[in-house]
Amino acid sequence: MTVVRDQAVATPGVAPPKSRRRMKSPYPYWFYLPAFAVFFIFFLVPTGSSFYYGFTRWTLFDAEWIGLENYRQFFSEPALTKGLTNTLIYGVVTSGLKVVLGMLLAVLLTSSVIGRAFMRSVVFFPVLVSTIGVGLTFVMLMEPDEGLINDTLALVGIEGPRWLVDPQWALLSVALVDVWKGVGLATVIYIAGIVSIPRELFDAAKVDGASAWGNFRHVILPLARPATTTVIILSLIGGLRSFELIWAMTRGGPGFSSDVIASVIYKQYQAGFYGLSTAGNVVLFILVTAIILPLFTWLNRRQVQM
């Protein structure tokens, strides 16, 4: 089978993939050297050494080999179980909301609505603002007794939750702010996806008498799949390793109720447990890879099958 297919591909004029790989690079090898040196020094060496230091009790001055002790310690950390579930909740909630809201906003902003360009900028604006700034601003807005949000809710007779102060709400509150800040990027990706759908398909759908919902369900939704894949992957990676916003807003509190893996690791660095926190980073690396890699291949395969 393979042989036959290879022969079929090797038609004159089209270079077969194999020989293309062998094709001589237009650049001499030393040309790659600077890039490789940078990559080696700043990426490979730190990555390699962090795997090593993950097995040691490290004071920055000397490191004592303790085998898997750090990993045992890290996984017996009570904050970690909480942090692990919180990381997953945070990643799924933010990424899910960004997909849904981003899609809806993109549909709205690709229709011929008045002030479209202006609204596109408004939606994208929060992406450009500093995360720490957004965090501190929302801490003020979400203040339970005097904050603007609860004051506004009180006007219509709703007693708002205690947001960041309530252990039940703290993580969700931060996730909502993350969505507010990040949905603009998802929207822009979706807008690009929707705009690239050929016009004829909409015309054909119209001829077939498709309703607005039918249009969305059977044309936009399937054909914007590459955009959906990108949004899910990007926001999930962002969500799983998110740190700045959580640190600016709650520092993982109250207690440990909004701790994620990244904030647990940060606190261990702060306390001077360098080996332990390096081990934590290795765990985070493995976790993100273990979730994203299969998800990515799965999403991409679905895309090809269509």
| CB distance 231 to 186 below 8 Å | yes
Residue 287 beta carbon to another protein: minimum distance, rounded to whole angstroms: 13
For residues 116 and 118, what is the distance between their CA atoms, to the nearest angstrom? 5
| CB distance 102 to 231 below 8 Å | yes
Of the two residues 23 and 60, which places its CB atom closer to another protein in the complex? 60
| CB distance 136 to 248 below 8 Å | yes
For residues 105 and 7, what is the distance between their CA atoms, to the nearest angstrom? 48
For residues 86 and 54, what is the distance between their CA atoms, to the nearest angstrom? 23
Residue 50 beta carbon to another protein: minimum distance, rounded to whole angstroms: 7
Out of 54, 55, 56, 73, which residue is the one contacting another protein (CB under 8 A)?
Answer: 73
Told to check if 137 binds another protein by CB under 8 A, we report no
Out of 137, 215, 257, 300, which residue is the one contacting another protein (CB under 8 A)?
Answer: 257
Site for another protein in 153-192 (CB under 8 A): 162, 164-167
Q: Count residues contacting another protein (CB under 8 A)?
A: 40
Out of 63, 71, 75, 79, which residue is the one contacting another protein (CB under 8 A)?
Answer: 79
In degrees rounded to 5, what are phi and psi of residue 210? -75, 140
For residues 255 and 200, what is the distance between their CA atoms, to the nearest angstrom? 56
| CB distance 278 to 57 below 8 Å | no
Of the two residues 59 and 152, which places its CB atom closer to another protein in the complex? 59
Residue 34 beta carbon to another protein: minimum distance, rounded to whole angstroms: 20
Give the end-to-end CA distance of the chain in Å, rounded to a whole number.
Answer: 24
Residue 95 beta carbon to another protein: minimum distance, rounded to whole angstroms: 20
Out of 126, 160, 226, 253, which residue is the one contacting another protein (CB under 8 A)?
Answer: 253
For residues 175 and 250, what is the distance between their CA atoms, to the nearest angstrom? 12
Residue 72 host element (H or E):
helix 69-76
Of the two residues 98 and 267, which places its CB atom closer to another protein in the complex? 267
Site for another protein in 86-125 (CB under 8 A): none
Out of 4, 14, 60, 304, which residue is the one contacting another protein (CB under 8 A)?
Answer: 60
Site for another protein in 261-290 (CB under 8 A): 262, 265-273, 276, 278, 281, 284
| Distances in whole angstroms, Cα of residue 210 to Cα of each of 195, 206, 214, 215, 223 | 19, 5, 5, 6, 16
Site for another protein in 20-49 (CB under 8 A): 46
For residues 52 and 63, what is the distance between their CA atoms, to the nearest angstrom? 10
Residue 120 beta carbon to another protein: minimum distance, rounded to whole angstroms: 32
Site for another protein in 192-221 (CB under 8 A): none
Tokens for 33, please give them: 């050297």
Of the two residues 59 and 297, which places its CB atom closer to another protein in the complex? 59
Residue 165 beta carbon to another protein: minimum distance, rounded to whole angstroms: 4
Q: Which of 122, 86, 129, 92 shows the shortest CA–CA distance to 235?
A: 92
Looking from the CA of 288 toward its CB, the CA atoms found within 13 Å total 19
Q: What does the binding site for another protein look like in residue numbers (CB under 8 A)?
A: 46, 50, 57, 59-60, 73, 76, 78-79, 143-145, 162, 164-167, 241, 243, 251-257, 262, 265-273, 276, 278, 281, 284
